[in-house]
Amino acid sequence: MSCDRLQKILARAGVASRRGAEALIRDGRVAVAGRIVRELGVTVDSEREVVEVDGRRIEPEPLVYFVLHKPRGMVTTLRDPEGRPTVAAHVRAIGIRVVPVGRLDYHTSGVLLLTNDGELAAKLGHPRSRVEKEYLAKVRGPVAERELALWRRPIFIDGRWTQPAAVSLARTNGNKAWLSIVLHEGRNRQVRRLGEAAGQNVLRLVRVSFAGIGCTDLAPGQWRPLTRVELAGLRRRFPVPAGSCPSQ
């Protein structure tokens, strides 16, 4: 037998976001087994107890996991006050409310995970998890060991020093070079700032993998479910505690 927090069950059912679900509970619009619940943090066995919102029974949606090849010129939010394209346009066909895991900036393309599994998303987004992220950065060449050493140096972002990046030369193309950059943190515009500190501005940036998951099989804007092997690997490396019902 396992239990989940009531607001998590509501969010998974697509009723509202986790914060919106908390507002529904506080407003007395949620009932469990026929009893109005106003307290946050209540655990519920959704397999045995009926959950209702405004008198309508809700059913939890299944957990889903996808990878999107985010195109350039798109923000990784579901709504943008500036009216720019968002990832929401690419995931409506999923039919289940999902959210991005982490962020990619407007001009960066590549791997972006999407899920309705809030616990795993939070685990992957937490700095303590040290999720590996690999990027390819296009810069003007030539790039020798001296330049690579500059890329590997820690820099100061938001009041803290970054961890040294693993940087190597991936390939050259005329007077341009592609660098492979591996990070275990996700600081604001970190790769681009590393380039600025090294004196080589990033001309193009692609995230080629996130937690070992890539999207080379996808064109920009396409998405696919994670494979069983990919999902099993995520759960093994980034386990989240399972909820358990209190003793009766």
Backbone angles phi, psi at 50, to 5 degrees: -80, 130
Q: What residues contact 236, with CB distance under 8 A and at least 6 apart?
A: none
Query: Is there a contact between 114 and 100 (Cβ–Cβ < 8 Å)?
Result: yes
| Burial class, 77, CB count within 10 angstroms (exposed 0-12 / middle 13-18 / buried 19+) | middle
- Catalytically active residues are 105
CA gap 45, 47 in Å, rounded: 5
- CA dihedral 76→77→78→80, nearest 10 degrees, is -120
**Structure-block tokens of residue 103:** 């962020």
Backbone phi, psi, residue 69, to 5°: -85, 95
Which 8-state DSSP code applies to residue 81?
T
